[in-house]
């Protein structure tokens, strides 16, 4: 039986040897040099190419075959697609990325499914838990989060997990009047799921 050995690859930045990939890719691997910390990718001619050089030149590497292509190219010269359309926001990003570069949506989750509703709700709850909201909401985070919770509640009826986060904001004296009205209207539409907020509503003398 013929013997096999792994040939060390040389880091293009410092010349040290690399024998183990840190991130396997469809066409080869991504390597991080243990000596200088530089990151390289293995391309089709079995050479290592520094990632920062690719970025400076405006090029990219096809994740399927390793061929170098222009950053704006939609296909490599082997015909592999270099971009994909986000299932959520419909923007295009790198085909080998599993999460949208713009909205962060994981591409293995189909919008409108129960798993998608859970992700939307988790995202909204995280936004409402942002400590900077105690200082105001100049970026409209609360409004977008409340609208997201409302959409999930209407389409799936599973918005109850967000009630506690909404209540915490309503109890914040710096919570804006406009957002408070939106929050109370949302809780009203949630009906029995928001029953725990009734004491807070009576204490406030009725919703704004």
Residue 28 has pLDDT above 60, yes or no: yes
Q: Looking at domain 1-57, does it have CATH number 2.20.28?
A: yes
How would you classify residue 85: left for phi > 0, otherwise alpha for psi between -120 and 50, otherwise beta?
beta
Other Cβ atoms within 10 Å of 148 Cβ, number: 19
pLDDT of residue 109: 95
pLDDT of residue 45: 64
In degrees rounded to 5, what are phi and psi of residue 176? -60, 150
DSSP, res 157: S
Residue 14 has pLDDT above 50, yes or no: yes
Residue 96 has pLDDT above 60, yes or no: yes
What are the residue ranges spanned by the domains of the chain?
Answer: 1-57, 114-203
pLDDT of residue 1: 39
pLDDT confidence tier of residue 26, bands split at 50, 70 and 90:
low
Residue 128 has pLDDT above 90, yes or no: no
Q: Which of 187, 189, 177, 197 is nearest to 137 (CA)?
A: 177
**Between 92 and 3, residue with greater pLDDT:** 92
CA dihedral (52, 53, 56, 57) positive or negative: negative
| Token code pair at residue 164 | 């506690």
pLDDT confidence tier of residue 5, bands split at 50, 70 and 90:
very low
SS3 annotation, 11-69 = CCCCCCEECCCCEECCCCEEEECCCCCCEEEECCCCCEEEHHHHHHHCEEECCCCCCEE
Q: Any idea which of 11-20, 149-158, 179-188 has the lowest mean pLDDT?
A: 11-20
**Between 15 and 110, residue with greater pLDDT:** 110
pLDDT of residue 203: 60
Cα gap 16→7, rounded to integer Å: 13
Cα gap 165→160, rounded to integer Å: 10
Q: pTM of the predicted model, to two decimals?
A: 0.63
Cα gap 181→56, rounded to integer Å: 49
pLDDT of residue 58: 85
pLDDT confidence tier of residue 135, bands split at 50, 70 and 90:
low
Q: Per residue in 140-175, pLDDT tens?
A: 888 889 999 999 988 888 888 888 888 888 877 777
pLDDT of residue 74: 94
């Amino acid at each position: 039986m013929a013997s096999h050995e792994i040939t060390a690859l040389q880091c293009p930045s410092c010349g040290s040897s690399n024998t183990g990939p840190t991130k396997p890719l469809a066409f080869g691997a991504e390597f991080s040099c243990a000596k200088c910390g530089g990151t390289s990718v293995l391309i089709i001619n079995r050479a290592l190419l520094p990632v920062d050089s690719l970025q400076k030149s405006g090029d990219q590497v096809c994740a399927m075959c390793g061929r170098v292509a222009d950053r704006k190219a939609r296909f490599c010269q082997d015909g592999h697609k270099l971009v994909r359309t986000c299932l959520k926001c419909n923007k295009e990003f790198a085909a080998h990325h599993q999460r949208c570069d713009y909205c962060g949506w994981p591409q293995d989750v189909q919008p409108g499914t129960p798993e998608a509703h859970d992700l939307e709700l988790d995202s909204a709850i995280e936004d409402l838990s942002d400590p900077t909201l105690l200082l105001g909401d100049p970026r409209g985070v609360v409004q977008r989060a409340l609208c997201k919770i409302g959409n999930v509640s209407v389409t799936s009826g599973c918005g109850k997990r967000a009630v506690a986060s909404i209540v915490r904001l309503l109890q914040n004296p710096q919570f804006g009047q406009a957002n408070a009205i939106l929050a109370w209207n949302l809780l009203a539409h949630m009906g029995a799921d928001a029953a725990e907020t009734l004491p807070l509503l009576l204490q406030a003398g009725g919703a704004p």
